[in-house]
């Protein structure tokens, strides 16, 4: 390179692209894939200020470039899983199953595994005393996406916490932080008269690829030497929901207004001259046998917990750094303060709504308690709207309660016919569904007719279709935290459009978009389903 060219390159780091591409292509590596990865890695290094030599980039690109990378769709889910079969009958999900409190950062990778090992522990305690007397070891094996990105999510800590008797809703996040800071801790687990020591070493990151019934598969075993006393295969199927091999769902009472689709749900609301929220309330009461006051008491708990996560996130110091190798600085408090100083009201609105979502999502990134709505990764979206409507707009709390039920209906339908699991459907299934729920919440709070509620939910979901899941370094931080802010703003935009258009002219119905979500999930390359094997997880250079 001439001096002139060198000077030009110093001013404009992207002027000479040769510097970004390592010259040597390792044997056996597909040339196109290698050059792409090398160039992307080089560009990312320059843009982020990280210095990498061409040789380092060669090593990085060779490590990630596959000899041949066919566009592999993920293997289909086993047809006998309840999460697959459930699409055939009416929606029977209830709010206390759906909105779950638990530690972040991921409902499928922390709350689900903790529920699973807690369930196994309960089952193990019921074994005959003579068998328990022989027990020597408890062992957890993580497979598929749980193994691929579990380390970044703290899955091993969540699994161990469940094994020693902790439940997601009541576990102290400081206990999980303590496990991260002191990973060699050993805990006694009481099984009958026997006490077995367990530690993080008993949670094994096993095969990431294989013929699994679900991408989030794990096994838990109670051993007596090499003999298995009890073994169970489990699946964390998204949103903190779990199943086990041979699982049959508990029998439930029939809903007052059975529905399988948004069309049927809306017909119930319109025929009975009521709202979607009230139909869901009536169903909740008939399925669970609870009174109206009991249902709303639960919904209030969820609302209060959402408000608390936003408040807690906003109160964190502006220079707080989230756990993990990204060293991501918290920005909720800064965005909030600066947005409040904005002289334009509309900019202020978008800024503070984003700040609320960032606040709750950063709490998730810290592993603090969040509410699945529908998942941990998307746990900033609904709280942002709930907080904004209750604490800023000061709307009537009863409207928010009804909005929470309408939002739940949207989540139920997505779970029923598609998925809430990023390991099955990418980020469209998490942030997309969360945004759709938040749009339904907002429309309900502002007394929109049922058609507008549907259109708002449809619009928010439609504009997340195809969105992949590619968390950098396997941590639910980048792109997840900002993605919650975008999901919240898109929810508001969806409501704004739906409430200002003529509802009957909206050409896409919610049910069609849920079908598109399901089909897109099936076709999506498995690399983009919470494996951290592609997308941002590959192009971002950490240093």
Interacting residue ranges for ligand SF4, rule: CB under 6 A: 377-378, 422, 427, 430-431, 469, 471, 476, 479-480, 483, 530
Q: Which is nearer to ligand SF4, 194 or 522 (CB)?
A: 522
State the nearest-atom distance from the C-beta of 537 to ligand SF4, in Å: 9
State the nearest-atom distance from the C-beta of 504 to ligand SF4, in Å: 34
Nearest CA-CA partner of 206 in 156, 257, 263, 252: 156
Q: Rounded distance, CA 312 to CA 320, Å?
A: 13
State the nearest-atom distance from the C-beta of 150 to ligand SF4, in Å: 12
State the nearest-atom distance from the C-beta of 183 to ligand SF4, in Å: 23
Q: Rounded distance, CA 510 to CA 516, Å?
A: 10
What is the maximum span of the chain, computed from C-alpha positions, in angstroms? 83
Q: What is the DSSP letter of 260?
A: S
Nearest CA-CA partner of 74 in 359, 331, 426, 510: 426
State the nearest-atom distance from the C-beta of 527 to ligand SF4, in Å: 12
As a three-state string, the secondary structure of 71-118 is: CCECCCCCCCCHHHHHHHCCCCCCHHHHCCEEECCCHHHHHHHHHHHH
Closest residue to ligand SF4 using C-beta atoms:
377
State the nearest-atom distance from the C-beta of 523 to ligand SF4, in Å: 17
Q: Strand 187-191 and strand 217-224: pairing?
A: unpaired
State the nearest-atom distance from the C-beta of 321 to ligand SF4, in Å: 19
State the nearest-atom distance from the C-beta of 435 to ligand SF4, in Å: 11
Q: Which is nearer to ligand SF4, 41 or 471 (CB)?
A: 471
SS3 state of residue 19: helix
State the nearest-atom distance from the C-beta of 483 to ligand SF4, in Å: 5
Tell the residue number behind the tokens 């079908």, with chain if given.
515
Nearest CA-CA partner of 103 in 364, 360, 328: 364
Nearest CA-CA partner of 204 in 124, 117, 123: 117
Q: Which is nearer to ligand SF4, 281 or 476 (CB)?
A: 476
> What angle (nearest 5°) sits at the alpha carbon of residue 249, between those of residues 244 and 255?
150
Q: What is the DSSP letter of 254?
A: P
State the nearest-atom distance from the C-beta of 535 to ligand SF4, in Å: 9
Nearest CA-CA partner of 127 in 216, 201, 196, 206: 196
Q: Which is nearer to ligand SF4, 230 or 427 (CB)?
A: 427
Tell the residue number behind the tokens 């522990």, with chain if given.
121
State the nearest-atom distance from the C-beta of 70 to ligand SF4, in Å: 23
Q: Which is nearer to ligand SF4, 314 or 379 (CB)?
A: 379
Nearest CA-CA partner of 543 in 482, 470, 472, 459: 472
CA 117 → CA 150, 176, 284, 476, distances in Å?
A: 15, 15, 28, 22
Q: Which is nearer to ligand SF4, 406 or 433 (CB)?
A: 433
Angle, nearest 10°, between helix axes 510-523 and 450-462?
20
Q: Which is nearer to ligand SF4, 42 or 313 (CB)?
A: 313
Q: Which is nearer to ligand SF4, 156 or 530 (CB)?
A: 530
Q: Which is nearer to ligand SF4, 111 or 476 (CB)?
A: 476
Q: CA 24: distance to chain centroid?
A: 39
Q: Which is nearer to ligand SF4, 444 or 477 (CB)?
A: 477
Q: What is the DSSP string of 269-316?
A: HHHTT--HHHHHHHHHHHHH---HHHHHHHHHHHHHHHHHHHHHHHTS
State the nearest-atom distance from the C-beta of 174 to ligand SF4, in Å: 23
Q: Which is nearer to ligand SF4, 277 or 471 (CB)?
A: 471
Q: Which is nearer to ligand SF4, 461 or 476 (CB)?
A: 476
């Amino acid at each position: 390179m001439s001096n002139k060219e060198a000077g030009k390159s110093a001013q404009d780091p992207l002027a000479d692209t040769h510097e970004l591409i390592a010259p040597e292509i390792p044997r056996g590596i597909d040339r196109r894939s290698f050059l792409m990865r090398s160039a992307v890695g080089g560009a990312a290094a320059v843009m982020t200020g990280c210095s990498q030599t061409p040789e380092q980039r060669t090593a990085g690109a060779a490590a990630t470039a596959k000899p041949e990378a066919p566009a592999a769709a993920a293997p289909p889910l086993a047809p006998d899983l309840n999460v697959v079969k459930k699409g055939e009958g009416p929606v029977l999900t209830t709010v206390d199953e759906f909105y779950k409190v638990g530690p972040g950062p991921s409902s499928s990778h922390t709350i689900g595994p903790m529920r699973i090992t807690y369930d196994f522990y309960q089952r193990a305690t019921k074994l005959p005393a003579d068998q328990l007397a022989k027990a020597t070891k408890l062992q957890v094996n993580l497979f598929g996406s749980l193994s691929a990105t579990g380390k970044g999510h703290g899955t091993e800590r969540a699994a161990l916490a469940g094994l020693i008797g902790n439940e997601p809703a009541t576990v102290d996040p400081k206990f999980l932080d303590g496990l991260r800071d002191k990973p060699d801790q050993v805990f006694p687990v009481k099984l009958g008269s026997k006490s077995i020591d367990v530690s993080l070493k008993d949670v094994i990151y096993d095969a990431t690829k294989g013929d699994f019934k679900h991408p989030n598969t794990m096994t838990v075993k109670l051993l007596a030497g090499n003999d298995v006393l009890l073994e169970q295969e489990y699946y964390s199927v998204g949103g903190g929901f779990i199943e086990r091999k041979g699982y049959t769902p508990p029998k439930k009472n029939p809903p007052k207004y059975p529905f399988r689709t948004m069309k049927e749900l809306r017909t119930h609301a319109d025929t009975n001259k009521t709202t979607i929220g009230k139909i869901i309330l009536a169903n909740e009461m008939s399925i669970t046998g609870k009174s109206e006051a009991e249902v709303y008491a639960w919904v209030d708990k969820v609302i209060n917990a959402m408000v608390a996560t936003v408040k807690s996130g906003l109160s964190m110091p502006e220079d707080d750094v989230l756990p993990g190798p990204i060293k991501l600085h918290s920005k909720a408090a800064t965005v909030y303060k600066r947005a409040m100083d904005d002289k334009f009201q509309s900019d202020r609105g978008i800024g503070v709504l984003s700040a609320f979502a960032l606040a709750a999502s950063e709490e998730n990134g810290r592993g603090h308690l969040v509410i699945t709505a529908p998942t941990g990764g998307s746990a900033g979206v609904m709280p942002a709207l709930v907080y904004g409507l209750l604490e800023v707009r000061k709307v009537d709390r009863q409207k928010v309660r009804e909005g929470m039920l309408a939002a739940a209906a949207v989540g139920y339908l997505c779970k029923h016919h598609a998925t809430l699991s990023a390991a099955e459907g990418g980020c469209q299934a998490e942030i997309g569904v969360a945004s759709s729920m938040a749009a339904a919440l907002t429309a309900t709070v502002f007394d929109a007719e049922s058609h507008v509620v549907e259109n708002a939910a449809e619009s928010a979901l439609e504009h997340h279709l195809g969105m992949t899941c590619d968390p950098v370094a396997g941590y639910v931080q980048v792109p997840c935290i900002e993605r919650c802010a975008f999901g919240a703003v898109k929810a508001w935009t969806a409501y704004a459009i739906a409430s200002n258009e003529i509802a009957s002219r909206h050409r896409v119905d919610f049910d069609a978009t849920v079908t598109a979500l399901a089909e897109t999930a099936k076709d999506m390359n498995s690399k983009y389903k919470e494996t951290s094997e592609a997308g941002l997880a590959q192009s971002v250079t950490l240093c």
